[in-house]
Structure 1
């Protein structure tokens, strides 16, 4: 039985990852910050753990709870969105909130989780965004969010060198109908997650540190 960890799974893409993997018989460990989020995870059959990715002590606690695990798949889905463009300077509090969740949280969790993925020679995916692709940028909309996802892509590319027996990669889920993506997005959550799972399953050593679209295509211009 495969063991899967989903970090940031209280709703949307993270919750759907937990649901799909559990439905296929995997042992799913998933995290959320709130009681409501933990209850939703338990309802889909996941082992629910409380985690705030912006809290170093919470991250340390997760490491203790995962001690001895071998993770076939790990996913960092936690993230915060912002919409302001470059005509307005970001407030420090808003900047810190996005960067702590989207970048620092991943950097704190990699040394905790990646060795457990290596132990299973598994895959560790980080949900990024096409908005973090520098080469295709066409506006400043969401510039703090864009910056955080570009930074996350670098985090993954750099960290991949330290964990050669695991496949670490950044993944864009596409434009998805979630609270973040809005009702006009062309992909529903189940379509995106199904495609992302297939991309993860197919990923091998050649994809270490890569930035891939949900359907497996590589972003050549980051």
Structure 2
């Protein structure tokens, strides 16, 4: 039975990864920050662990609990959008900047040294939920200025890390505009369809694809 770790599985895309992987007979490890979400994940059949990706002590605890695991798949989903109305016409506050960058970028950079060796041990895949909004080449609006910046930084962090873990296949993924708490009710894509597409792309990756930037339909995005 293959093993997956979903980092940030309390709701939305992360929770749907858990559902679909369990349905496909995977052993699923999943993280969340609060006790209610952990209980929900366990009732769904996952092995649940408490984790705050922005807290190094919390991450060290997870590493200790997962010592010896071999991960066929790890997915870093944890992320925040930040305040509404982000625009270059007004700088972000230091508090908003720190919250978005710590979760979306620093969290991933702290997770990689702990989790990537477990993915390498299984010659598995390590996916990071980025966004098309992190593409410099495809940017045509300033909307979501701070969020965009965080996802562009995440892309560089993961692209760089892929070079140091050659036995794992790293990939950055845009899930599309998804009807979740972050995407809102007017988004064009159901979470089931987004995650189904993401898993199809992930399952089709070859090792030479490591460090690439794809969307849920498999299209390669411009950096």
Would you say same fold, with TM above 0.5? yes
- Structure-2 separation of matches of 1:184 and 1:91: 28
* Match status 1:141 vs 2:112: no
| Structure 1: gaps of 5 or more residues | none
The aligned counterpart of 1:104 is 106
Segment of structure 1 superposing worse, 83-92 or 187-196 = 83-92
Q: Give secondary structure in 2 for the equivalent of 1:169.
A: strand
Matches within 5 A, 1:129-168: 129-168=131-170
Note the alpha carbon deviations across 1:114-138, whole angstroms, 9 max, x for none: 0000000000000000000111112
Q: CA–CA distance in 2 between the matches of 1:215 and 1:207?
A: 15
CA–CA distance in 2 between the matches of 1:144 and 1:45? Answer: 36
1:91 aligns with 2:56: no
Q: How do residues 8-23 of structure 1 correspond to structure 2 at under 5 angstroms? A: 8-23=8-23
Shift of 1:9: 0.4
Structure 1 stretches of 4+ moved >2 Å: none
Deviation at 1:43, TM superposition (A): 2.2
2:164, 2:36 → 1: CA distance? Answer: 36
Question: SS of the counterpart of 2:71?
Answer: coil
How many residues end up aligned between the 2 structures? 221
2:201 paired with 1:196 = no
Tell me the SS of whatever aligns to 1:135. coil
TM-score when normalising by structure 1: 0.98
In the alignment, structure 2 segments of 5+ residues that lack a partner are: none
Query: Equivalents in 2 of 1:138, 1:184: separation in Å?
Result: 20
**Cα deviation 1:46-82 (Å, max 9, x = unaligned):** 0010000010000100100110000000000000102
Shift of 1:209: 0.6
- Output the CA distance in 2 between the equivalents of 1:34 and 1:95: 23
Counterparts of 2:39 and 2:48 in 1: how far apart (Å)? 8
- Bigger shift: 188-197 or 40-49? 40-49
Task: Give the whole-Å Cα distance in 1 for the aligned partners of 2:54 and 2:186.
Answer: 30
Instruction: Work out the CA distance in 2 between the residues paired with 1:43 and 1:12.
Output: 17
Cα distance in structure 1, aligned partners of 2:218 and 2:141: 25
Q: Distance in 2 between matches of 1:44 and 1:93?
A: 35
Q: Secondary structure at the match of 1:217?
A: coil
Q: Structure 1 residues 113-122 or 132-141, which shifts more? A: 132-141
| Structure 2 length-normalised TM | 0.97
Counterpart residue number, 1:79: 79
